[in-house]
Amino acid sequence: MHMEDIEPFWGGTLQESLACGTPVIAFNAESPGFRKFGLLVSPRAESAFKLIETALANPARLVSAGDEGLEFIKENCDWNTLAQRLNSLYSSLVK
């Protein structure tokens, strides 16, 4: 198990958005497009605008991404789950 397994992903702002059931938009120059929890967009403004405009034309897909994100948070980021992962990590270290 690695420490990134304990911290399920990338930081508070994205987690807060997903916990609210809203899709996220993150910047990634290599592979923009729809993803499970929202969008990866190019840091270039024109390209980002086009992808966001396309996403807004498909509200059902955005709602689905928000729902998926909320479910992920419920399953992976509650205190009991994190405590179990830490306990497992600590147990593996003392063996």
Q: Which residues pair with 27 in a beta bridge?
A: 41
Distance CA 56, CA 20 (A): 18
**Structural domain spans, the chain:** 3-94
Which letter does DSSP use for residue 23 in this model? Answer: -
10-residue mean pLDDT profile of the chain (95 residues): values are 44 83 84 88 88 93 94 85 86 86
- Residue 2 is predicted with a pLDDT of 37
pLDDT the model gives residue 78: 81
Which pLDDT score is estimated for 29? Answer: 65
pLDDT value, residue 30:
78
- Which pLDDT belongs to residue 1? 35
In the chain, % helix, strand, coil (3-state, to 5) comes to 60, 10, 25
Give pLDDT, residue 53.
93
